[in-house]
A = this chain, B = another copy of it.
Amino acid sequence: MTEVIRDIPFLATDRVEALLDIERHLIAEQSTIERWFRGQWQRTPPPFYASVDLRNAGFKLAPVDTNLFSAGFNNLNPEFSALYVSAIQHYLNQYYPGLERVLLVPENHTRNLFYLESVARLRELLELAGLDVRVGSLIVEDRTVYDLPSGGQLLLEPLCRDGGRLSTTGFDAQVILLNNDLSGGVPEILVGLEQPILPPLAAGWRNRRKSQHFTHYRAVAQELAEVIGIDPWLIDPVFRRCQGIDFMRSEGRECLVANVDAVLEITRERYAHYGIHQRPFVIVKADAGTYGMGIMTAYSGDEFLDLNRKERTRMAKSKEGLPVSDVFIQEGVYTFEQTAQEAVAEPVVYMIGQQVLGGFYRVHTERGRDENLNAPGAHFEPMSFGQTCVLPCRKSPPDAPVNRYYAYGVIARLTLVAAAREMADWRRQGTPETGQ
């Protein structure tokens, strides 16, 4: 059973005035915010699903990564299943009213039973919404049933390709739902399909760029900040990018040093403005890719002048061996949320269509406040939110759990607007070779 967190992790910092101020603004302007989102979805439809990693520094609340192939559905609070299923139903009603048969294509790491739990849970939610669902794997060669830690089972079936149609034996899917981030590139079997693919192949990490997402996010955050009257920096991490980096050959170091220092300088200025005494830092990661590989915390551009061999190797490859050449340099946002046991926590918020579902805390007992926490392992522990992020409560203080969750839901949906704009870019550019 998913563990549900009843007490929100506390903020281990006394610099919370700015955050309380954001939260107060979000609660006071809730009607305006909800209307603003409605206008956004009219212009740009949301992706089918997304999840976003947030960092809460007390003085700043910002997204650091937006995932368009969400896993971890098994970590959501099962109490709110009706909300999740109704979110799927509303999405179908609006965008795919006639849809009956969906083929879900998961990641290839079939040995990660926690990931398979997420696939099984997603499948269950889709079925509860009234869809026929099969799970078609890119790698299994025979129908294979996996026994899951929860006691459930998941059947993976081999994919078949017949002309322009992808299927599993005896199942003519109308839509392909991708839960595979295509870090290894787009497999031949998915290229040129007749069936729509959600999200589009262009969302895969061979094509998608964090810098493109956060360029949109910056614009979106500025638009909302203007509507509700806050400093957009409070919800938006500064970033730069460098192209053509080769860590092994130390090519492109000048760009890295200069841009790391540029991000630190802006951060330092804002910290001074708000009287924050923490040390500014940056997170350096692949502009494409995910999974906490090739991620580095730095406090100065100089650190990139003398990376040792181990550090260079670690940075040079990201998931599935995709070589890093474009690098994304993001203002580090401290996570000052910690559990009663003093473990560091960061919230992950889930959405289906335009609907925020809630989320969970990624709790890590062996990582610091300035480190990436998306590193599954023995010390990674998900704890479901006790509430849904849908509703604020004006009668409660701005930092009451219900209101903090609402704030998380607003920031998460800003990244969803950014993702919707990315998808609109891909549609405009057209990527016929990827079947879209």
Residues of A within 8 A of B (CB): 30-35, 37-39, 41-42, 80-83, 85-87, 89-90, 92-94, 97-98, 100, 127-132, 354-355, 387-388, 390-392
Is the beta-carbon distance between A130 and B41 smaller than 8 angstroms? Answer: no
Is the beta-carbon distance between B354 and A97 smaller than 8 angstroms? Answer: no
Residues of B within 8 A of A127 (CB): 31
Task: State the Cβ distance, A92 to closest chain B Cβ, in Å.
Answer: 6
10 A-B contacts (beta carbon < 8 Å):
A31-B100, A32-B130, A33-B130, A37-B130, A42-B93, A80-B82, A82-B83, A83-B86, A86-B90, A90-B93
Q: Please, how many angstroms separate the alpha-carbon atoms of A128 and B92 in the complex?
A: 24
Q: Please, how many angstroms separate the alpha-carbon atoms of A387 and B81 in the complex?
A: 11
Candidates B30, B86, B100; contact of A35 at CB < 8 Å: B100
Is the beta-carbon distance between A93 and B130 smaller than 8 angstroms? Answer: no
Given known A-B contacts A93-B38, A354-B93, A86 and B390 have beta carbons under 8 A apart: yes
Task: State the Cβ distance, A30 to closest chain B Cβ, in Å.
Answer: 7
Most B-side CB within 10 Å, residue of A37, A82, A390: A82
Is the beta-carbon distance between A31 and B83 smaller than 8 angstroms? Answer: no
Given known A-B contacts A31-B131, A33-B130, A39 and B97 have beta carbons under 8 A apart: yes
Nearest chain-B residue to A80 (Cβ)? Answer: B82
Is the beta-carbon distance between B34 and A81 smaller than 8 angstroms? Answer: no
Task: State the Cβ distance, A390 to closest chain B Cβ, in Å.
Answer: 4
Most B-side CB within 10 Å, residue of A86, A89, A98, A392: A86
Most B-side CB within 10 Å, residue of A80, A93, A131, A355: A93
Q: Please, how many angstroms separate the alpha-carbon atoms of A259 and B94 in the complex?
A: 44
Is the beta-carbon distance between B35 and A81 smaller than 8 angstroms? Answer: no
Is the beta-carbon distance between B94 and A94 smaller than 8 angstroms? Answer: yes
Most B-side CB within 10 Å, residue of A30, A35, A98: A35
Is the beta-carbon distance between B85 and A129 smaller than 8 angstroms? Answer: no
Interface of A is mostly: helix
Q: Please, how many angstroms separate the alpha-carbon atoms of A86 and B413 in the complex?
A: 14
Is the beta-carbon distance between A92 and B38 smaller than 8 angstroms? Answer: yes
Is the beta-carbon distance between B81 and A83 smaller than 8 angstroms? Answer: no
* Additional A-B contact list (14), CB under 8 Å, known A34-B89, A128-B392: A30-B128, A30-B130, A32-B130, A34-B129, A35-B130, A37-B130, A38-B92, A38-B97, A38-B130, A39-B97, A82-B388, A83-B83, A86-B86, A89-B355
Nearest chain-B residue to A35 (Cβ)? Answer: B130
Most B-side CB within 10 Å, residue of A85, A128, A131, A355: A128
Task: State the Cβ distance, A155 to closest chain B Cβ, in Å.
Answer: 16
Candidates B37, B85, B86, B97; contact of A87 at CB < 8 Å: B86
Task: State the Cβ distance, A43 to closest chain B Cβ, in Å.
Answer: 10
Residues of B within 8 A of A80 (CB): 82
Q: Please, how many angstroms separate the alpha-carbon atoms of A89 and B387 in the complex?
A: 18
Task: State the Cβ distance, A62 to closest chain B Cβ, in Å.
Answer: 23
Which 9 A/B pairs are nearest by Cβ-Cβ distance? A34-B130, A82-B390, A82-B388, A90-B90, A42-B97, A31-B130, A35-B130, A83-B83, A38-B97
Residues of B within 8 A of A33 (CB): 130
Q: Please, how many angstroms separate the alpha-carbon atoms of A392 and B388 in the complex?
A: 21
Given known A-B contacts A87-B86, A130-B30, A355-B86, A94 and B97 have beta carbons under 8 A apart: no
Residues of B within 8 A of A41 (CB): 93, 97
Residues of B within 8 A of A392 (CB): 128
Given known A-B contacts A31-B130, A130-B31, A132-B31, A38 and B89 have beta carbons under 8 A apart: yes
Q: Please, how many angstroms separate the alpha-carbon atoms of A131 and B98 in the complex?
A: 31
Is the beta-carbon distance between B128 and A391 smaller than 8 angstroms? Answer: yes
Residues of B within 8 A of A387 (CB): 82
Task: State the Cβ distance, A242 to closest chain B Cβ, in Å.
Answer: 40
Q: Please, how many angstroms separate the alpha-carbon atoms of A130 and B409 in the complex?
A: 14
Residues of B within 8 A of A90 (CB): 86, 90, 93, 355
